[in-house]
Amino acid sequence: MSEIRIQRQDFDPGAEISALNAAGEVGAIASFIGLVRSDGGMDAMTLDHYPGFAEREISAHVAEARSRWPLLGVRVVHRVGRLTPGERIVFVGVASSHRQAAFAAAEFLMDYLKTRAPFWKLEERASGATWVEARESDDDSVRRWR
């Protein structure tokens, strides 16, 4: 079972983790929650996305994770819209029989989401609002999975 959601509203990490426990054979659930960082004075960040396209792109990477590790469940929740420092922005939860697969798949998915997921970020600072540019350095975390 995989669930991928892109939404404006906050999510309940406990409910997401509980939902991963429905599979029966689960022995391990690894979860990650990303929060918005102020990053030296950022007041807010607004995430833009292409509905449909974004879900499709993320689904392809969830499918790749499922082909690499024996997973029993995957849940990805990503927020869009305007978020302020301290707010939850992303949830990744992976269920498997054993912890190694759960840890590895969760990290694989987060490395992808942080660098390649189809979002655009507008950062608001005292100096004004600017679109974040794609960074080469982020790609290092993705390259190690090749």
Partner 1 sequence: MKLLYFAWVRQRIGRSEEELTVPASVSTVAALIEYLRSRGAGYEAAFRDAALLRCAVNQEHARFDAKIGPNDEVAFFPPVTGG
Binding of partner 1 by 145 (CB under 8 A): no
Among 30, 65, 72, 113, binds partner 1 (CB under 8 A): 113
**Binding characters for partner 1, 10-39, by CB under 8 A (x = yes):** ------------------------x-----
From the list 10-18, 49-57, 67-75, 100-108, the region that binds partner 1 by CB under 8 A is: 49-57
Binding of partner 1 by 115 (CB under 8 A): yes
Q: Are 122 and 130 in contact (CB under 8 A)?
A: yes
Q: What is the DSSP letter of 11?
A: -
How far apart are alpha carbons 9 and 94 in whole angstroms? 21
Pick 85 or 118: Cβ nearer partner 1: 118
CA atoms within 13 A on the CB side of 19: 19
Chain residues that interact with partner 1, rule: CB under 8 A: 34, 47-50, 52-53, 56, 78, 89-90, 113-122, 131-135, 138
